[in-house]
Each structure stands twice: as C-alpha cells, then as structure tokens.
C-alpha cells in the first residue's frame, strides 16, 4: 500500500516524502500520490490524489494511515494536472479538512466545473475528428469514454492557483513550480534545487511515453494548441535542470533524466518520420494514418492515438514535410 520512496531516499534525499500507490481502473495501472509531511515551515501536503473509486480510497487512506495521517489532517492538496487519475479525492479532502487546493489556472476549470468543461472539450473535438475522417461510431466511443472518465470527478474550488516561477514550501524546503505543458496544458512539475528532486507527474515517465493530448485553446478564437510541440520543448527544458531523481505519476523513479529525454525525443522523431513515409506512400486521412501507425489499437486507446498522430503531423507541418489538402471537409495528408 505504502511505499517509502526508498529508505535511502527517505534518509538522505528528502525525509518525510512518501509515495502512496493507488490503483486505477484504467490501462495505465497504478498512480502515485505523494505525501509531504508538515513542518514548522510547510503544511502537510498531498501531491495528487488518485482516482475516486472505493479501492483507491482504501489504498490512499491506508497509505496515509501508515504515516499517521487521515484526510482530516491534510492541509494542502496540489493537483499536478486535470486528468481523472490525479484529482480523485480533492473534493472529499477539501470537504473533510478544509485543505487548500492548489493547481494551475487552466486546471481550475476542470476542478471547479468539471462537467461543463468536459462537454466543451468534447464539443471542441468534433470538427477535428470530422476533418480527420474519424468514423461516427469511433467518435461515439470516444465520447462514451470521456463521459466515463468524467463520472469519477467531484467539483471542488481551487483556492490557490500555481504558475511558472511560483514557489511552494514543502518539507521545510522551497520548491519551484515549472509549468510543463504538453501531456496536458495545465501540467505542473515541482522542483527542489538543493535536493535536486523533481516531482514530474506525467511529464516524464520512465516506463511509458507521456502522450500529449489534443486540447482546446484557452479561448476559442485562438488556434488549437500544438501539445506535442509544447511537450518536446518542455522535455528539453526539464533536461537542463540538475536532477538527481524524478518521481513520476506512474512507474519507477527516473535517475537519468537527460538520457530518458534523449530516448523520448528520438522516439518522437522516428514516429514522425514513419508518418511522413506513410504520407509519401499515398495520401491519407488522419484516421487512416492512426490505423496504419497502430494496427492493433483498442477503442479505449483511440483518443490517445489520434492525439499522438495529430501531434506528429503538427511536427511535420512545422518542418515543411507534410501538408493537408481539404477534400469535402476531410483533410488528406500529403508528403511535400
Ligand atoms: Zn495524465
């Protein structure tokens, strides 16, 4: 239930920081919540709080209990980004303890008005899917999953917004907030420069690559955010930090951040190149490219795959390697 990050880390890196393993019903598997014990200088803080299921609540409460903590003791919750597996018990904890709820400004809408925000998100995707030649039954499937994910979320008020450059007291140390948009536009990492520790959430995962998802812009008169390009920029920025260890939202800690970043960057270049080759073979729609790239794709992964392929097309367009041609409202992608 509770993993002290490692005894060594506990003693020499950051005393009082715990990772609590929380199950999710999603293919990604377990997610971590990080508990930072309180001190004279810092409130008792939970960074992320799982997905709101009974199994997850039991795991979170058992993990907290092993540290002598209950929901009532939590003074502050930091939400790293708006995905369902990270914000689960924010509302419940805020109601029980009156904890401060901290998140990026763009995450606040998802916490405060989850259902209208989710519906607006779904509506924004419709023309993108249609232009991408995505069949109606596949679109319906994606909407179904969106509603399913939304069903886990309870609204709560964000009492403090966090932005790039902000500082946060945790474990008697000052942490810096990095706004690392990409996987999500509202994703923040927390960095402690003396301990050289990064809480990387889903920005940097050792065992799986983070998927930059399609998202609406902040205001609808703005162009669609190019989240994969954002992600690659932010990966390179994080690689410049002096990081001894990064604790992610899922999976094992990362001890060689620059090496992992290089691996991820190379993977994206390779996938984009493969996509360009497919367009050169013969022009295709976004959906046809998704099926060609991921032939064994299952429905729950469809939105992730569409997001990734569109992200790689953004990259190829930026580099002048492909371009779309609209044909009866559907974009056909050609290699240039
Ligand atoms: Zn996520």
Q: Answer whether residue 306 is part of any domain.
A: no
Q: How far is the CA of 213 from the centre of ligand 1 (A)?
A: 9
Q: How far is the CA of 336 from the centre of ligand 1 (A)?
A: 34
Confidence of residue 1 (pLDDT cuts 50, 70, 90): very low
Q: How far is the CA of 140 from the centre of ligand 1 (A)?
A: 22
Could you tell me which residues come within 8 angstroms of residue 199 by beta carbon, excluding any fewer than 6 positions away?
34, 47, 80, 175, 189, 190, 191, 246, 247
Q: Answer whether residue 36 is part of any domain.
A: yes
Q: Find the CATH number of the domain harbouring 178.
A: 3.60.15.10
Q: Answer whether residue 142 is part of any domain.
A: no
Tell me what percent of the residues of the chain surpass a pLDDT of 90.
89
List, for residues 4-58, the tens digit of each pLDDT value.
444 333 434 688 999 999 999 998 899 999 999 998 889 999 999 999 999 999 9
List, for residues 252-287, the tens digit of each pLDDT value.
999 999 999 999 999 999 999 999 999 999 999 999
List, for residues 78-100, the tens digit of each pLDDT value.
999 999 999 999 999 999 999 99
Q: Answer whether residue 299 is part of any domain.
A: no
pLDDT at 8: 36
Measured CA to CA, the distance from residue 196 to residue 190 in angstroms comes to 11
Q: How far is the CA of 247 from the centre of ligand 1 (A)?
A: 14
Could you tell me which residues come within 8 angstroms of residue 45 by beta carbon, excluding any fewer than 6 positions away?
35, 36, 38, 74, 75, 76, 77, 78, 170
- Taking a C-beta distance cutoff of 8 angstroms, is the pair 251, 5 a contact? no
Q: Answer whether residue 121 is part of any domain.
A: no
Residue numbers of the domain that contains 204: 2-112+154-264
> Pick from 87, 93, 23: which is nearest to 250 by CA?
23
CA torsion, ordered 136, 140, 141, 146, to nearest 10 deg: 140
DSSP 254: B
Q: How far is the CA of 71 from the centre of ligand 1 (A)?
A: 23
Q: Answer whether residue 277 is part of any domain.
A: no
> What single string gives the DSSP state of each residue in 90-127?
HHHHHHHH--EEEEEHHHHHHHHSHHHHHHHHHHHHHH
The total number of structural domains in the chain stands at 1
Which residues have CB less than 5 Å away from ligand 1 (the ion)? 83, 202
Q: Answer whether residue 309 is part of any domain.
A: no
List, for residues 133-170, the tens digit of each pLDDT value.
999 999 999 999 999 999 999 999 999 999 999 999 99
Both tokens assigned to 47: 């960074």
* Tally of CA atoms within 13 A in the half-sphere of 234 that contains its CB: 25
Both tokens assigned to 5: 């990050």
Q: How far is the CA of 39 from the centre of ligand 1 (A)?
A: 29
Q: Answer whether residue 138 is part of any domain.
A: no
Question: Considering the entire predicted model, what is its pTM?
Answer: 0.94
Mean pLDDT of all residues belonging to the chain? 94
pLDDT at 215: 96
pLDDT at 41: 87
């Amino acid at each position: 239930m509770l993993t002290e990050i490692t005894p060594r880390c506990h003693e020499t890196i950051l005393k009082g920081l715990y990772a609590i393993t929380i199950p999710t019903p999603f293919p990604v598997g377990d997610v971590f919540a990080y508990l930072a014990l309180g001190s004279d200088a810092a409130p008792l803080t939970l960074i992320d709080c799982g997905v709101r299921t009974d199994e997850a609540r039991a795991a979170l409460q058992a993990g907290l209990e092993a540290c002598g903590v209950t929901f009532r003791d939590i003074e502050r919750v930091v939400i790293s980004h708006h995905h369902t597996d990270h914000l689960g018990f924010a509302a419940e904890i805020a109601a029980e303890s009156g904890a401060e709820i901290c998140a990026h400004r763009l995450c606040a809408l998802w916490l405060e008005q989850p259902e209208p925000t989710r519906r607006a998100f779904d509506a924004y995707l419709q023309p993108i899917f249609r232009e991408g030649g995505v069949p109606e039954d596949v679109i319906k499937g994606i909407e179904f999953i969106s509603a399913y994910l939304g069903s886990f979320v309870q609204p709560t008020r964000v009492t403090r917004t966090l932005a790039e450059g902000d500082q946060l007291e945790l474990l008697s140390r000052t942490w810096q907030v990095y706004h690392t948009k990409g996987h999500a536009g509202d994703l923040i990492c927390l960095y402690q420069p003396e301990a050289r520790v990064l809480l990387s959430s889903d920005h940097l995962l050792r065992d799986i690559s983070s998927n930059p998802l399609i998202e609406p812009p902040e205001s609808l008169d703005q162009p669609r955010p190019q989240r994969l390009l954002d992600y690659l920029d932010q990966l390179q920025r994080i690689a410049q930090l002096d990081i001894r260890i990064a604790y992610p939202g899922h999976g094992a800690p990362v001890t060689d951040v620059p090496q992992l970043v290089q691996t991820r960057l190379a993977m994206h270049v390779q996938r984009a190149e493969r996509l360009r080759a497919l367009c050169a073979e013969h022009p295709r729609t976004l959906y046809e490219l998704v099926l060609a790239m991921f032939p064994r794709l299952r429905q729950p992964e469809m939105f992730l795959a569409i997001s990734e392929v569109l992200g790689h097309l953004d990259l190829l367009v930026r580099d002048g390697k492909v371009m779309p041609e609209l044909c009866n409202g559907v974009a056909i992608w050609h290699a240039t």
